[in-house]
Amino acid sequence: MEGLLLVLLNGLVYGLLLFMLSSGLTLIVGMMGVLNFAHASFYMLGAYFAYTISVGLGFWPALIIAPLLVGGLGALVERYGLRAVHRHGKLAELLFTVGLAFVIGEIVPLIWGRPAVPYRVPAVLDFPAFALGGINYQAYRLFMMGVSVAIFAGLYAALARTRLGLVIRAALTHPEMVGMLGHNVPRVFTLVFGAGCALAGLAGVIGGNVFTTSPGMAEALGAIVFAVVIMGGLGSIPGALLASLAIGFIQTASVTLDTPLGVLLGRLGMAVDPHGALAEITIARAAPAVPYLLLVLVLVVHPRGLMGARAD
Amino acid sequence: MTENTALALEDLHKSFGATAIIRGVSLDIRAGSCHAIIGPNGAGKSTLFHLITGRLKLDRGRIRLAGHDITGLSPHRVFRHGLARSFQVTSLFPRLSVFENLRVAAMWQARCGHAYWRSVAGYPGLHGRVLDMLENLHLTPRRNVPAAALAYAEQRTLEIGLALIGGAHTILLDEPTAGMSRAETERAVALLRRLAGGRTLVLIEHDLSVVFDLADTISVLAEGQVIASGSPQTVRGDAAVRAAYLGTAAEDLA
Amino acid sequence: MPKIAAHLRGRSWLVVKFLAAPVFAGLLFAATHAAAAEVVQIAYIDPLSGPFASTGQLGEEHLRFAIDRVNAAEAAGPGRRFELVAMDNEVNPEKSLTLLRKAIDGGIHYITQGNGSSVAFALSDAVAKNNRRDPTHAVVYLNYAAVDPGLTNGKCNWWHFRFDADSDMKMKALASYLVGRADIHKVYIFNPDYSFGQSVEKAAIAMIGNQRPDLTIVGAERVPLGKVTDFTPYIAKMRAVGADAVVTGNWGADLTLLVKAAADTGFNATFFTYYLGARETVQAVGMAGKGDAQISEWHENVDAPAIDKMAAAFNAKYHENFYYWRVVDMIDTLAAAMKEAGSTDPLKVSRVLSGMKFSTPLGAEEIRADNHQLLQPMYISVLAPDMPHMFPGVPLGFKTIKRFDAEATRLPTTCSLKAPD
Amino acid sequence: MADQAAPQTALLAGVPGRSRAWMIWLAATAALALVAPHLLASGFGISLLNRMAIAIVFALSFNMLLGQGGMLDFGHAVFFGLGGFATMHLLKLADAGIFLPVPLLPLAGALGGLVSAVPAGWVATRREGTSFAMVTLGIAELAVAFVVMLPQWFGGEEGVSGDRSAEPALFGFDFGAALQIYYVIAAWALLAAVLMWAITRTPLGRLTNAVRDNPLRVDFLGYDPARIRFLCFALAGLFAGVAGGMQALNDEIVTVSNIGSAASGAVLLMTYIGGVGTFWGPVLGAIVVTLLQMALGTLTDAWQLYSGLLFVFMVLWAPGGLSGIILSHAPLLRAGLGHRLLARYLAVVPAALLTLAGLIGLAEMAYRLQAVRSGGAPGRLFGFAVMPTDPVAWVAPTLLLLGGLLALRSLAPRARAAWQEAHTLLARGTPR
């Protein structure tokens, strides 16, 4: 019982973390249709900015300033880069962000050096808040979960309930129409991209000290955020939350299972050599591959993702 | 339904959410005829075409093409039973040349299959068939121009050509002359008349002069139902049609 | 558009220069050969860009430092100088092979590498084939950090010399200490899921299991390198089976995240690691690492004044902590072998290196003749407060808890090397 | 992309009169391939040619999907790598004494690529556009995860290695020597390229283009677009497998890194820089990027930054790639309009060089600052001794960059205008 509770709790923690990491990407993909491969780079910039600011001013000012800086940078990138490639199509936009990720990945170590920087969790939140099954949960983890939930609530409310949200969603499907109604569509896109980058930056501020703030952190974040966004259904905020939690729970649960994969496949009716290579892999070992397996499965069964409105 | 029915629609229904778009359409389209479907905007004409060609799934009903049940088949399977269509919004292969557009459209009939071991130039008749169609469409001088670079009327002409070249016995044309000038429209009508040659044409058209020029039979669709069907003269006099066509269109009808 | 024209112009210039480069290199090579001073180029094939660049850069700095020492003392023989040629392989085996080709073309006969067993296997294999097919361009491969046991066992060859203890030797030392600790009863084995982690796991199970009735292995887990974001579920699993020691071959960010997750969740087991000692890792782990152990051939608080002096000089010059004592050891040994052979010929030098016995400030060492593995003293140390040498920003330093003589790390090998004709 | 790619697709499209030209091209390429290693006369040069040949086949197979079929495959290296593993396992069998002629082993790569592309394609090609790309991303991650987890089959970290010269010599060739394996690889590259080119002229090749442009319409012309995508995907996997097999023979080792995202990213870079709009664009890209990877890295530490900037530059200003640039000028030159451009273009060159010098100056200063901080020597830059810790040293490159950019701002539009003018003239002069 306690074991199950622990899995649920850890799954929830991990799921909310994933949502926080991918929320900015969800926004950009959903509202602009741009698969921003530089998302992880903006996440990294958020962490580095926060480190530099926290050295001078402390963590809390960094929590506000760093995402704003990253968001501003994102807006500039949209205005002077992305907008220019927009007319060449989606592929060009995507490739532009790939190149951008490459360049940011090279510039960051030039400024902050190649080794990791000592960016640490603020002392006020660096204490065990509660324990379950002998495992302590840091107050900072709770803070992280809180921020994640706040991001969800904020995004959901902003897009579904406000006039701005309405304009943004309309600008995606009917840009000419919205333009004719007197809204500045390009500026809406700049705003959205900036906001998405700011969210990536915020994730960096909060994640950078729990994990490590190093030039490799963007690459370490990797494809998982894409798995979340795609699985949730391109651009669906509730979908991304659902996908994050699904990945969180399933991956955490798989970690606890030491059953060999061969046995599992055997039960599914597949003949597996009991001494072969597959028989040796336990479900726990395969756990980190779970998000991608889920991704492929979800897309096979339901091409638009869990809650997606659009197929492409 | 009789022996020479090309296309038989039996009680078709389609809703989007709570909105019923097609509400029990039944039609028999005689082989070799030119059957126009007219009706006010939002009557469900394009939706009807999407249902017939398999683009949209039926909620209820049955579709037969020359005796074969094609209900629920995907568009390419419907095509293989001999039904081709053109689109209201031009739908070409923008980066391919005019020649290549037509050749792709003629491939299935030339039994090219999915061959990747044989040059496309080696299929008997394919090349000549495309050249003939180019001539008929008056597009021969433009054969190497990418479709995206054609003028609008040329694109519409090519659009019709794509539907005609594939050898289908029944052809659905969704507003073939949309956006054309008077002269261009006349050329298009002449083209259709020339190339129809015994095939069944089903036509959605707003331009009633085209309708009365080409059609042997007219069906009027309003609010998802066929409210009148028959020869041009019959339809012209129908009271229900007049009611559906309030305003300017009604004067055209008269 | 015109910008690109200029760009293209730049590129074609580059191509010309590039194609001409081998010719120039050849001329240069001929010229240097004619001169009295003999330059021995050592190609360093390791990551100098990308995510692993900081490790590769650290290696390069140590090599430069070691080479400067040898050159200053003319330790390789009168008039003989070493020169480092750094090549960026991005830890990619295929690129490494092309760079090896380039090095061979440039007349280089000595290469060194350390990061990534995949690269090491590729290089070792390619060097052996090259030396068989083209003996006049023979190459000696000095390995300073790739620790897969296969390199000196099943896949050994004459031209590969390893100056780092392999993962089995390190495990032997760790295991003998662990088995001797009466307060440890339940060991969890946690490794990255590739051949290195697999061999660590195998060795750990063989050497720790069944050694003491009250010492059991309660779990063995492998995770893909760099793919796990949150280690808490794994810690929960360790905690659930009551592990009081964790043996791990993880390194870099994974090790940092693992140790931090353990500290955050209040999991108190001791971590026995291969790679805790890097300054970057200690700084990232911070106080969470207190009490955790590593196995290494040297650490800052080993009592060896001669190396302390070296370390101080290194720290002053490179603003980095001296870490790879074995790199200095390796270059010194190469120099000594050349001096003894009276030649820089790879075959002659390798004959001297094979079976060479010598002593360093840490004790007696030997390059085994049967598999070309260096035997050197090893230290198990824990991160402890109040040490003479501590890490900048983290008031912890390594404290020796057990030393092993070189001989004590000897393991049986399936390899028995014979010099080529 | 579309604006530049459009004309050349039309050029490619079946104009029967052009069928002789390709034979001349083929003969010339074969002749060049034959003499190239003797011109270079160095082992490194030959291994570079081998890499290029492998990259060419890999990039062409990638472009079957991206350029011909409009499918962005983020996991194309999976088929490359698995083809390599298949070849290597056969090579090991050959080493163990079973008679298998070494030069034919890339056939095993073809099979490996095909067999792995079939299930992947079955899943992925049911989607198009972004969804397709994302499924391939997921498949690639899965493939890497499982390959790493199965050391029994894929050798884990150390990979699988074999010896191409272990077999008894075939007609006096043992394929150990670099030159011998070069000819094997060059022959395969030529064969694969010709086959891929031939496929573009088949019904499937044409349908692939049609599906790229407008899958919906293809569906209404009797063909299932998903089936066409699938066949194209399988064939692309097959040729990627051939490239993997060529690499296995060249390196005599295949490792997991061949399957990973870095390899998939590299082929995307090559193809895009070469240009996806033409058949031969990727060939150009493969050659240029291979040179960059191997040559630039030895010249400067900042090479990855330069590659990244080049990539961004291409996406922003030359989305048609190198082949796009060439194609947008070739007809002008042929029509004798080159002189109209030359003066305007030449005017831009100094400005571009100035910008480039400033950019390189700044980048090099930054990298050297880092080197100096960690105890290295700053070295020389453009022949000057520089000290990056001195702020004054940064002034010169900054001024160069700013000056260059300002000059470009006024000169580049003029060059562009000249280009457009020439095209207008061309269009008017030769009515099509």
Label residue C309 by pLDDT band (50, 70, 90).
very high
B120 contacts in chain D (CB < 8 Å): 14, 201-203, 205-206
pLDDT more than 90, % of chain C: 57
CA atoms within 13 A on the CB side of D116: 33
Partner C contacted by D406 (CB < 8 A): no
CA-nearest of A26, A38, A95 to A305 is A26
Q: Indicate whether this complex's ipTM tops 0.90.
A: no
* B101-113 burial code (b ≥16 CB/10 A, e <16): bbbbbbbbbbebe
Task: Name, in order, each residue with C-beta under 8 angstroms of A55's C-beta and a sequence gap of 6 or more.
Answer: none
Per-residue pLDDT at C415 exceeds 60:
yes
Best of C223, C232, C267, C283 to substitute, by most chain A Cβ atoms within 10 angstroms, is C232
Q: Are D282 and D270 in contact (CB under 8 A)?
A: yes
Chains near A with 3+ CB pairs less than 8 A apart are C, D
D1 contacts in chain B (CB < 8 Å): none
Backbone angles phi, psi at A117, to 5 degrees: -100, 145
pLDDT more than 70, % of chain D: 89
The single-letter DSSP state of residue C391 is B
Task: Give kind and range of the element (H or E) at residue C282.
Answer: helix C279-285
Per-residue pLDDT reduced to its tens digit, C352-403: 999 999 999 999 999 999 999 999 999 999 999 999 999 888 899 999 999 9
CATH number of C2-166+312-375: 3.40.50.2300
* Same-domain status, D240 and D346: no
* Cα gap D203→B110, rounded to integer Å: 10
Please work out, in degrees rounded to the nearest 5, the angle formed at the alpha carbon of residue A118 by the alpha carbons of D374 and D301. 35
Contact C51 A219 (CB under 8 A): yes
Q: Which fold has domain C168-296?
A: Rossmann fold (3.40.50)
* Cα gap A259→C237, rounded to integer Å: 14
Counting every residue, how long is chain D? 432
Specify the pairing of strand D380-381 against strand D253-254: unpaired
Interface list for A 25-44 with D (CB within 8 A): 33, 35
* Cα gap D295→D132, rounded to integer Å: 35
Q: Are D375 and D365 in contact (CB under 8 A)?
A: no
Q: Specify whether the backbone of C387 is left (phi greater than 0), alpha (psi in -120 to 50) or beta.
A: beta
Per-residue pLDDT reduced to its tens digit, C285-306: 888 889 999 999 999 999 999 9
Where in chain C are the domains? 2-166+312-375, 168-296
Give the pLDDT of residue A42: 96
Backbone angles phi, psi at C52, to 5 degrees: -100, 15
Which of A17, A116, A255 is nearest residue C233 as measured by Cβ atoms? A255
Give the pLDDT of residue A148: 94
Partner D contacted by B87 (CB < 8 A): yes
Per-residue pLDDT reduced to its tens digit, B4-45: 888 999 999 998 888 888 999 999 999 989 999 988 888 888
Chains near C with 3+ CB pairs less than 8 A apart are A, D
More reliable by pLDDT, B84 or D101: B84
Partner B contacted by D219 (CB < 8 A): yes
Segments forming the whole domain that contains residue B219: 5-253
Which of A115, A128, A137 is nearest residue C54 as measured by Cβ atoms? A115
Q: Does residue D22 sit within a domain?
A: yes
Q: Does residue D327 sit within a domain?
A: no
* Contacts by A192-195, CB closer than 8 A, 24 or more apart: A192/A27, A192/A28, A192/A31, A192/A32, A192/A168, A193/A28, A193/A32, A193/A34, A193/A36, A193/A74, A193/A75, A193/A77, A193/A78, A193/A82, A194/A71, A194/A72, A194/A74, A194/A75, A194/A78, A195/A24, A195/A27, A195/A71, A195/A74
Interface list for A 150-209 with D (CB within 8 A): none
pLDDT (tens, 9 = 90+) of chain A, 312 residues, equals 677 888 888 889 889 989 999 999 998 988 888 889 999 999 999 999 999 999 989 999 999 999 999 999 999 999 999 988 888 878 788 889 988 998 998 899 888 887 788 888 888 888 888 888 778 888 988 999 999 999 999 988 888 777 777 777 777 667 777 776 767 778 888 989 999 999 999 999 998 888 888 888 888 777 788 888 888 887 788 889 999 999 989 888 888 877 776 666 666 665 555 555 566 677 777 787 888 888 888 877 777 777 765 444
Q: Which two tokens stand for residue D255?
A: 């490792």
Using CA atoms in the order D140, D141, D144, D149, what is the torsion angle rounded to 10 degrees?
-140
Give the pLDDT of residue C33: 47
Counting every residue, how long is chain A? 312
Per-residue pLDDT at C39 exceeds 90:
yes
Per-residue pLDDT at B79 exceeds 90:
yes
Task: Name, in order, each residue with C-beta under 8 angstroms of A92's C-beta and a sequence gap of 6 or more.
Answer: A85, D1, D315, D319
* Same-domain status, D44 and D172: yes
* Same-domain status, D98 and D189: yes
Task: Name, in order, each residue with C-beta under 8 angstroms of C27's C-beta and a sequence gap of 6 or more.
Answer: none
CA-nearest of C274, C314, C293, C311 to C398 is C293
Segments forming the whole domain that contains residue D193: 2-320
* Cα gap D184→A175, rounded to integer Å: 55
**Per-residue pLDDT averaged across D106-128, rounded?**
92
Look-up of token digits 């090259």 = C130
Give the pLDDT of residue D52: 93
More reliable by pLDDT, B183 or A302: B183
Give the pLDDT of residue D120: 93
Of the candidate ranges C74-88, C200-214, C248-262, D294-308, the one whose mean pLDDT is the lowest: D294-308
B95 contacts in chain D (CB < 8 Å): 2, 5-6, 9-10, 209, 212-213
Contact D203 B115 (CB under 8 A): yes
Label residue D18 by pLDDT band (50, 70, 90).
low
Q: Does residue D325 sit within a domain?
A: no
Which residues partner with B85 through β-bridges? Answer: B172
* Cα gap A8→A14, rounded to integer Å: 10
* Same-domain status, D238 and D316: yes
Among A155-164, B237-246, C121-130, D389-398, which range has the highest average pLDDT?
Answer: C121-130
Q: Are B156 and B188 in contact (CB under 8 A)?
A: yes
Give the pLDDT of residue A115: 78
Dihedral sign (CA C2, C5, C10, C11): positive
Per-residue pLDDT reduced to its tens digit, D320-361: 889 988 888 887 787 777 777 787 788 888 888 888 888 888
* Same-domain status, D357 and D304: no
**Cα–Cα separations (whole angstroms), residue B226 to B24, B38, B45, B70, B211:** 8, 10, 10, 21, 17
Per-residue pLDDT at C158 exceeds 90:
yes
More reliable by pLDDT, B33 or C16: B33
Chains A and B, touching by 3 or more CB pairs within 8 angstroms: no
Task: Name, in order, each residue with C-beta under 8 angstroms of B220's C-beta and a sequence gap of 6 or more.
Answer: B37, B38, B39, B226, B227, B228, B229, B235, B238, B240, B241, B244, B245
Best of A21, A43, A212 to substitute, by most chain C Cβ atoms within 10 angstroms, is A212
Q: Does residue D8 sit within a domain?
A: yes
Q: Are A289 and C224 in contact (CB under 8 A)?
A: yes
* Same-domain status, D344 and D287: no
CA-nearest of D181, D284, D323, D267 to C15 is D284
Q: How many angstroms separate the CA of residue D346 from the nearest CA in chain C?
A: 8
Label residue C30 by pLDDT band (50, 70, 90).
very low
Which residues partner with D381 through β-bridges? Answer: D384
Per-residue pLDDT at B155 exceeds 80:
yes
What is the chain A residue with the closest CA to C267? A135
Label residue B243 by pLDDT band (50, 70, 90).
confident
Q: Does residue D329 sit within a domain?
A: no
Interface list for C 18-37 with D (CB within 8 A): 18-19, 21-22
What is the chain D residue with the closest CA to C226? D145
Contact C94 D257 (CB under 8 A): yes
Give the pLDDT of residue A280: 66
More reliable by pLDDT, B65 or A6: B65
* Cα gap C349→C332, rounded to integer Å: 13
| A269 three-state secondary structure | coil
Task: Name, in order, each residue with C-beta under 8 angstroms of A76's C-beta and a sequence gap of 6 or more.
Answer: none
C97 contacts in chain D (CB < 8 Å): 47, 251, 253
| A256 three-state secondary structure | coil
Q: How many angstroms separate the CA of residue A231 from the nearest CA in chain D?
A: 9
Of the candidate ranges A103-107, C117-121, D5-9, the one whose mean pLDDT is the lowest: D5-9
Q: Are D14 and B122 in contact (CB under 8 A)?
A: no
Which of D51, D255, D313 is nearest residue C93 as measured by Cβ atoms? D255
Domain count along chain B = 1
Give the pLDDT of residue A264: 66
D156 contacts in chain C (CB < 8 Å): 194-195, 198
| A13 three-state secondary structure | helix
Give the pLDDT of residue A109: 86
Label residue B171 by pLDDT band (50, 70, 90).
very high
pLDDT more than 70, % of chain C: 91
* Cα gap D337→D90, rounded to integer Å: 56
Q: Does residue D216 sit within a domain?
A: yes
CA-nearest of A96, A104, A117 to A40 is A104
D411 contacts in chain C (CB < 8 Å): 2
More reliable by pLDDT, D255 or D188: D188
* Cα gap A142→A147, rounded to integer Å: 9
Give the pLDDT of residue A185: 77
DSSP string, C340-381: HHTS--HHHHHHHHTT-EEEETTEEEEE-TTT-BEE--EEEE
Partner A contacted by C395 (CB < 8 A): no
Q: How many other CB atoms are there within 10 angstroms of residue C217's CB atom?
A: 17
DSSP string, C146-214: ---GGGGTTT--TTEEE-S--HHHHHHHHHHHHHH-TT--EEEEEEESSHHHHHHHHHHHHHHTTSSTT
